[in-house]
Chain A
Amino acid sequence: MAPEPPLLTMSGITKSFPGVRALDGVDLDVQAGEVHCLLGQNGAGKSTLIKVLSGAHQPDGGTITWRGETVVLRSPIAAMRLGIATIYQELDLVEGLSVAENVHLGHEPTAAGFVVRGKAARASTAALLKRLGHPEIDPARLVGELSAAQQQIVSMARALSHDVRLIVMDEPSAALDPDEVDNLFRIVGDLTADGVAVVYISHRLEEIRRIGDRVTVLKDGRAVAGGLPAKSTPTREVVALMTGRNVEYVFPDRPPSPVSPAGAPPVLEVRGLAREGEFEPFDLDVRPGEIVGLAGLVGSGRSEILETIYGARKPTAGQVIVDGRQLRTGSVRAAVRAGLGLAPEERKAQALLMLESVTRNVSVSSMSRFSRGGWIDRGAEHRAARAATRELSLRPDNTSVPVRTLSGGNQQKAVLARWLLRGCKVLLLDEPTRGVDVGARAELYAVVRRLADEGLAVLLVSSEVPEVLGLADRVLVLREGRVVHTAPARELDEHRVLDLVMEGSPVATEGSPAS
């Protein structure tokens, strides 16, 4: 590295959200002209860190030094004025404006202070696009008409339209085809040759090896390793850094032998189910009493698979069979009637009626049981909801309280109670412990295992590999919409699963490739 002081130094950055300490004293230093990669599992704190760096979040503690001076990044505009630009994974472009208008949004070239000089804007945009290797994008076109890859170029052009010295790229390759990735790397190379620093976030180790100079690994809100050489650090070491946990997970024991014999008919059968652009055809059986886990990174198609089985998305191929009967695909009501229940990833947005009581949240899927001719027997409803929540030891033991006053773990129990009350046969769990604090997780795991022991079939999705390995009996490993490996959970460990989800093919260890 150059002997000069770092372009950017972040030291001791802390940031807490209600119930979560997202950053717990992170250090990061970035040199001019380098590609500094950030690695870490989901929830390690990468997104929070870059939001602090881009001025979108204010840190609770720590200092940021920019070109030798301590700075406070009060807003994204403040960061941009200093020369820090961020390209988010979810692009923040205005689809109804043209390319040139997006690139110059907020700093339009003007005449007399307010008349936008459209021609000048288009000309400078065209120059930027040319520099980025995409002269074919017309600055006058609406951004909404462009492809995802082209929009990303526009986003980059916007970053470069400022006098930028540091660009943060959050998983920029996730939406790109291989040759578009090559172009991206060429751009990154050009930028660094000009002395611009790039903070690059990716799950793909091979990319980090190709373009990275140094790597900082985040885990549980801390930088566990700072500035490792990107090209020479062994994969094993990187993976070990990402996984070694402080957090103890307490998992219930698996039953000594499978609850239902392997020959028992599966309650859920998935045959050749696929959704174009999201996940490729795959088969899956889940038997009563069995917990099957889907492991994979964000974007690997995990949630999409669950939602498609549940009928919330319509598959492009394949079928879902429950108890031997084929489901009408793309119908949530058919799935619920057949005995499926979903605890979705975004509890508040997708499952809970936040203004309503626990009782009403629990009873919403079973209303016909407490009603005659549409008239609700509120006493029966209340007793049934109470019985279901007691079964799961939901706290407080009062179902009249608004569901929004419950903790994350108890809100999740309210969702589980909903399906328990409904008497569902297959429970689909999408990130069941997201937003649930560590102590309450163990209790939730025990609940899920007990429900399985009582004969429920469970399909579990989680981005936390230890969770899948600890809870599931059998695991399907997903990478970019493809099942790359299937094995009993006992035969897998965290390293191996991470190798699989990041590198794709089974690495040079024993084990059979995926079906």
Chain B
Amino acid sequence: MTQPVSPPRGGPDKVTPVSEPPAWRALVFRADVRTLSLLGVLAALIVIGGITKPDEFLDTRNLQLVLTQASVIGVVTVGMTFVITSGGIDLSVGAIVALASVWATTVATQEYGFGGILFTAVIVGVGCGLVNGLLIAYGGMVPFIATLAMLASARGLALQITDGSTQVVTVEGILDLGERDAYVLGIPPLVLVFAVVTIIGWLLLNRTTFGRRTVAVGGNAEAARLAGIDVRRQRLYLYLLSGLCCGIAAFLLIVLSGSGQNTNGNLYELDAIAAAIIGGTLLSGGRGTITGSVLGVLIFTTITNIFALNNLQSDVQQIAKGAIIVAAVLVQRRTASTT
């Protein structure tokens, strides 16, 4: 047999060799430029908050409040990150949160107590995700359209259930969770839930076959299909996951506000997408980062808090958010092209 030897092409000099370090080192040391720059932005915001309102901003209660507020949208963003990584989009998250929160707080549901409320919130979220997933994966609908339809319907249904009124929660167990007595080492339980969801999400995306398939489908759906991956089933699971996260977020919101309202979760879809994008998840799919998404959420929540403390109106906040999204994406483009 002839064994012609050709010189190696695209040799090692062209590439940066990276060894595969153990998981903990990946977490700590391989934090890339993007993550570091997000941390830098967050640190700068904390400095700004500390300078402008030293007493109020750095107060423990305020920091607890910031983290609590971040928890609800944060859980939604974790689910959204998976969907976007797979090349999809879920516009219905805010509406699902609203629907789940009102369904779980009807008089009838509240009779089943704590478990009934939690169960209902989660089931409604998963159910909406199932509809989204079936329409997109098996009905061949474009994610934008299918979830837009879900947005409209779920909001409408939420309004129908409440008739516009606020459903006050009377179940003691739920209300207790929001009290200071329930804090663990000074950390509100809602924040703990957010932390657990984040860790599970990170592991799921980075350490499991589910995460790999998600990235493969988003990076190149045709290649994933030809490699033997069941792309449709994966898409279904992803919208189920997003729905599940919405259900959990709805429960957190019920605990936080002690009520269910059809106006809950307003514009969550935009906040979640924006947080994921500035975190470094590619809107076109194929690359996702839970760490980045969580930092994105924290950055947005901190800005809102600082602006509120400084008595700036929400219109200014919105403008600032918009500017940050543009700046973050422009910076990422630059770093992406140089590496």
Contacts and interface: CB of A to CB of B under 8 A. Distances in A.
Interface of A: 250-253, 310, 312, 332-333, 336-337, 342, 344, 349-356, 359-360, 364-365, 367-368, 371, 374-376, 378-379, 382, 395-398, 400-402, 405-407, 409-410, 418, 437, 439-440, 442-443, 446, 449-450, 453
Contacts of A397: 12
29 contacts: A252-B1, A253-B2, A310-B226, A333-B228, A342-B226, A350-B226, A352-B223, A353-B215, A353-B286, A364-B229, A367-B212, A378-B23, A396-B8, A396-B11, A396-B12, A398-B15, A398-B17, A401-B17, A405-B10, A409-B9, A410-B10, A418-B227, A437-B9, A440-B9, A442-B4, A442-B6, A443-B4, A446-B2, A450-B1
Contacts of A443: 4-6
Contacts, number: 135
A378 B207 contact: yes
B213 to A, nearest CB: 8
Contact of A376 (B1, B208, B222): B208
Contact of B220 (A251, A349, A359): A349
B111 interface: no
Closest CB pairs A-B (n = 8): A336-B228, A395-B8, A407-B9, A407-B10, A439-B6, A396-B12, A442-B4, A353-B219
Contacts of A336: 227-228
Interface of B: 1-12, 14-20, 23, 207-210, 212-213, 215-216, 219-220, 222-230, 286-287
Contact of A405 (B14, B20, B209): B14
Contacts of A395: 8-12
Contacts of A253: 1-2
A353 B216 contact: yes
Nearest to A370: B209
Contacts of B5: 443
Given A333-B230, A378-B20, A352 B220 contact: yes
B223 A353 contact: yes
Nearest to B7: A439
Given A344-B226, A405-B14, A375 B212 contact: no
Contacts of A337: 228
Contacts of B226: 310, 312, 332, 342, 344, 350-351
B227 A364 contact: yes
Contacts of A359: 20
A371 B212 CA distance: 11
Contacts of A350: 220, 222-223, 226
Interface of B is mostly: loop
Contact of A364 (B2, B222, B224): B224
B15 A401 contact: yes
B223 A351 contact: yes
A7 B11 CA distance: 48
Contacts of B223: 349-353
Contacts of A368: 209
Given A353-B286, A400-B17, A374 B208 contact: yes
Contact of B1 (A342, A356, A378, A446): A446
Given A350-B222, A354-B220, A376 B207 contact: yes
Contacts of B216: 353, 356, 364
A101 to B, nearest CB: 26
A230 B1 CA distance: 44
Given A349-B222, A355-B219, A395-B11, A446 B4 contact: yes
A449 B1 CA distance: 9
Contact of B2 (A252, A353, A418, A439): A252
A440 B17 contact: no
A342 to B, nearest CB: 6
B9 A410 contact: yes
Q: Which of B9, B207, B219, B287 has most chain A Cβ within 10 Å?
A: B9
A117 B224 CA distance: 49
Contacts of A352: 220, 223
Contacts of A252: 1-3
A406 to B, nearest CB: 5
A354 B17 CA distance: 17
A14 B25 CA distance: 51
Nearest to A393: B8
Contacts of B9: 395, 407, 409-410, 437, 439-440
A295 B287 CA distance: 39
A360 B212 contact: yes
